[in-house]
Chains A and B, each alone.
Chain A
Amino acid sequence: MRGWPLIRAWTILVYTFMFLPVAVVILLAFNANQFGAFPMTGFSFRWFVALWENDAIVRAFQTSLTLGLLTAIISTTIGVLASLALVRYDFPGKNSISTLLIAPILVPEVVLAVSLLLFLQMLNVPKSFFLLLMGHVIFTLPFVVLVVQARLVAVKKDYEEAARSLGASPIQAFFQITLPLIMPAVMAGGLFAFTISFDDITGTLFWKPGGVETVPTQIFAMLRNSISPEINALGAVMIMLTTGLPLIGIAVARWSAARRAK
């Protein structure tokens, strides 16, 4: 086809458009220039050291990590149970239930944020870490359900039934047979929930109590002044963390699958 080289050139151009700005963030994080802008004057780790010495940023990291981990644990537990129901059983109203489970994606995040905030305020729940956690659970849940469901389809129900017919209780069968088999799906769901929570800003700005910052809201607050090399360094650390974790996850999944195949 004659158009093919053209399409290929276009694809390269579009991929460059998607990645170049992010690559520049990482590049400028190592800039020795004190204004953090072009032209680069040298290579330096000083901005990463500055991050480490900045109490506000270290606190934001602690908040984001705690929030991400708790969100992942709660969301994955709820999501895996729901996915099991959707994949393993047929029941009336299944389609509507599936749609309801992904509803938090379909409602604009701003609307979700406002309604949860006002509702919990009415119940006298102030802006707090708890509100932040509830918010993150509700908007990560649909992603967990979608990812886990897609992986669960491949896990056969036969082993669980065999265990049950050999006298295992449903609880025993679940923890000793089913859970180990679906572990990759659980991990994938948890990782997804963690990265979504860790990256979120839209809802977080509504829910966070005054004085509490997550890494994205900290970056947002720092942007009010002007872009600084510290922001680029913080961005670079975040990029490495939230792209590194899933990539390691994929690599581990491939490795264990390859080992099992031997």
Chain B
Amino acid sequence: MATIEESEKRAPWVLLSPALVTIALLLVVPVMFIVVYSFWLRTSVGGVEPAFSLANWREALTDRFYLDILISTVRIAAITTIVCALVGYPVAYFVARAKGVNRGFLLLLLMLPFWVSYIIRTMSWINILGVSGAVNSLLLSIGLIDEPVQMLYNEATVILGLVHFLLPFMILNTYVSLDGIDRALEDAANSLGANPMQTFWEVTLPLSVPGLAAGSVLCFVLGAGTYITPIVLGGPTDAMFANLVFEAIITQLDWPLGAVLSLMLLVVLGAVVLVYNRFMGLGHIAKGIG
């Protein structure tokens, strides 16, 4: 019979095993599998056969089309992240400094968008900016325009949709950092003669960098990995990299190419996460979500 000590040692692994098996079978092995799959060949009859061919990789890496869209995806995600940081920081600051019931209420409101489906939040902008949307209806009724103006389906509305989707992630993460700052440090800076601006730039802002960084990584990775927003709010030329993956897999049924494109996206976004992990540690992201 096992001693109590031995069973204590075994217990965590017994409890963890269902989760570890799930992650191994549904995430780790499948990702490793598509690495292999990306070298397989499409046959002339439309099937796929095991092989070692660099053709898929060559196509994706040498065709300017894919590279251009990868670059514009990174650019759109970067702009979105910067806008989220600039717009969200004062809000996080306000919530962190709010008192009592107000603060609880503001935090609860910040959670609400997470429970509203991404597709609904995205399509809601059609009601606002569309040809028969709120803005056009308002401008028509006050006589500023004679005919409805199409404001949707361009890069700006894609970025708008992404900011709307990702802003709560930025605010919550920054809030967690700001909330953890010992107020005595700010008081000390003030009593030593710093004016409020100096205190902010030299004490508060540097101490909130971990939250700002966690929020930025989430915004960037989620923003760069989406294909729904460009379909719903973008025009024909506003496709992002994940749209190419979706096209390859679902429309063209060119699965080896789809595997290559997925892996390219994984490498670019994985690099961002690794750099972040090197400097900040992944723990901060977990704090912001839980």
Identify the A interface with B (CB < 8 A): 1-3, 7-8, 10-11, 14-15, 17-22, 24-25, 28, 35, 37-39, 77-79, 81-82, 84-86, 88-89, 91, 97-112, 114-120, 122, 134-135, 137-138, 141, 143, 145-147, 149-150, 195, 198-199, 201-202, 205-206, 215-216, 219-220, 223, 227, 231-232, 235, 238-239, 242-243, 246, 250
Contacts and interface: CB of A to CB of B under 8 A. Distances in A.
B94 A8 contact: yes
B34 A114 contact: yes
B141 A110 contact: no
A100 B20 contact: yes
Nearest to A218: B119
25 contacts: A10-B90, A11-B106, A14-B87, A17-B167, A18-B167, A19-B113, A25-B120, A25-B123, A38-B136, A38-B137, A79-B19, A84-B15, A88-B12, A89-B8, A89-B15, A100-B20, A108-B224, A115-B30, A138-B23, A146-B290, A199-B119, A201-B119, A220-B232, A238-B120, A243-B112
B: interface residue count bin: 35 or more
A22 B12 CA distance: 44
A180 B289 CA distance: 25
A37 B116 CA distance: 21
A79 B227 CA distance: 29
B132 interface: yes
Contacts, number: 257
The B interface, classified by DSSP as helix, strand, loop or mixed, is: helix
A137 B27 contact: no
B33 A118 contact: yes
Nearest to A143: B289
Contact of A89 (B12, B126, B259): B12
A107 B27 contact: yes
Contacts of A232: 127
Given A21-B121, A101-B19, A117-B249, A37 B31 contact: no
A39 B112 CA distance: 28
B93 A119 contact: no
Interface of B: 8-9, 11-13, 15-16, 18-20, 22-23, 26-31, 33-34, 37, 87-88, 90-91, 93-95, 106, 108-109, 111-113, 115-121, 123-128, 130, 132-134, 136-138, 141, 164, 167-168, 196, 221, 224-228, 232, 242, 245-246, 249-250, 255, 258-259, 262-263, 265-266, 269-270, 273, 282, 285-286, 289-290
Contacts of A242: 115-117
Given A18-B168, A202-B228, A239 B116 contact: yes
A185 to B, nearest CB: 11
